[in-house]
Amino acid sequence: MKTINLETQTVRDLNQALHDQSTKCTEREWEVLEPKGQHNIACGLDQNLAVDIKGHAGYFCAGMNKKAHITVHGNAGQGVAENMMSGTVRVKGDASQAAGATAHGGLLVVEGNAAARCGISMKGVDIVVKGDVGHMSCFMGQAGNLVVCGDAGDALGDSLYEVKIYVKGSVKSLGADCIEKEMRDEHIHELTELLNRAGVDEDPASFKRYGSARELYNFKIDNASAY
C-alpha cells in the first residue's frame, strides 16, 4: 500500500501520483493521511484503484471519478463524487451539499446524512444515503436511482426526469412534477440489489417510490405556475 501524508505533501502531489497510475499502474492500494478537510482530494482518477482517505475531506472530493474505489473515513464537503462516471465512492460520515451532482455512473454511498441538493442533475449514478437528505434533493435528476433510508427534506425530486427515488422515512414535501408511484415487484428487486451493493441492511418493502408525473416534459399553459 502506498501512503501519502498531506501534512508533508500537497494535494497536487497526491493527485498527480494517482493520475500517473492511469498510464502505468504500479500500486493499486493507496492511503491518504491527515487530509484535514482539504479540497479536491482524489479528483479525476481513471484507474481501478482503492483509495482510503483517513479523515475529513473538503469540497469536490472524488470528483470526476472513473473506475476507482474511494472511501472517506470521515465527513465530505460540498460536491463529493461530482460528475462521477464509474467506480464507487463511500463516505463514512456525513456529506455536505450537492453530493453526486451531475454524476453519470458508479455508486455513491453516504453512511451518514446528506445535505441539500443531493443528486442534483444526476445522470445515471446510483446514490444510497443511510441517513437523511436535505431540501431540493434530486432536483432535475435525469437518470439513475436515489435511495434514502431516512427522511427527505422539502421539494424532493423537483423537475426530475426519469430518476427513481426510494425513501423509507418521511418526505417533507415533493417538488414540481414529482409524485409517489406504485412499488411493484421489479422495483423491490432493483432496490434489493442497490441496498446489497451499498452494504445497507434495510427491508426494501418498507420503502416508497417517487418519480416524474411527466407533466413538465413539454410546455403546457395549464401548468405554467409549476415551471
The more confident residue out of 36 and 220 is 36
- Over residues 160-164, the mean pLDDT reads 95
- Over residues 172-193, the mean pLDDT reads 97
Please return the burial class of 137, using the count of CB atoms within 10 Å of its CB with bins 0-12, 13-18 and 19+.
Answer: buried
DSSP states of the chain: -EEEETTTS-HHHHHHHHHHTTTS---SEEEEE--TT-SSTT-S-BS--EEEEES-B-TTTTTT-BS-EEEESS-B-TTTTTT--SSEEEESS-B-TTTTTT--SSEEEESS-B-TTTTTT-EEEEEEESS-B-TTTTTT--EEEEEESS-B-TTBTTT--S-EEEESS-BS-B-TTEEEE---HHHHHHHHHHHHHHT----GGG-EEEEE-S-SSS--GGGGGG-
Among residues of the chain, what percentage have pLDDT more than 70? 97
**Residue 224 pLDDT > 70:** no
- Cα(166)–Cα(35) distance, integer angstroms: 33
Number of domains in the chain: 1
Residue 57's nearest CA partner among 78, 35, 79 is 35
On whether the CB atoms of residues 121 and 138 are closer than 8 A, the answer is: no
pLDDT class of 226 with cuts at 50, 70, 90: low
- Over residues 45-54, the mean pLDDT reads 98
pLDDT in tens, 102-137: 999 999 999 999 999 999 999 999 999 999 999 999
Q: What is the pLDDT of residue 184?
A: 96
- The model's pTM is 0.95
Among residues of the chain, what percentage have pLDDT more than 90? 94
pLDDT class of 216 with cuts at 50, 70, 90: confident
CATH number of the structural domain spanning residue 179: 2.160.20.60
Q: What is the pLDDT of residue 219?
A: 64
What domain range includes position 50? 2-226
> Taking phi first (over 0 means left), then psi (-120 to 50 degrees means alpha), and beta for anything else, what does residue 105 get?
beta
pLDDT in tens, 88-99: 999 999 999 999
Average model confidence (pLDDT) across the chain: 96
pLDDT in tens, 2-35: 999 999 999 999 999 999 999 999 999 999 999 9
Q: What is the pLDDT of residue 223?
A: 67
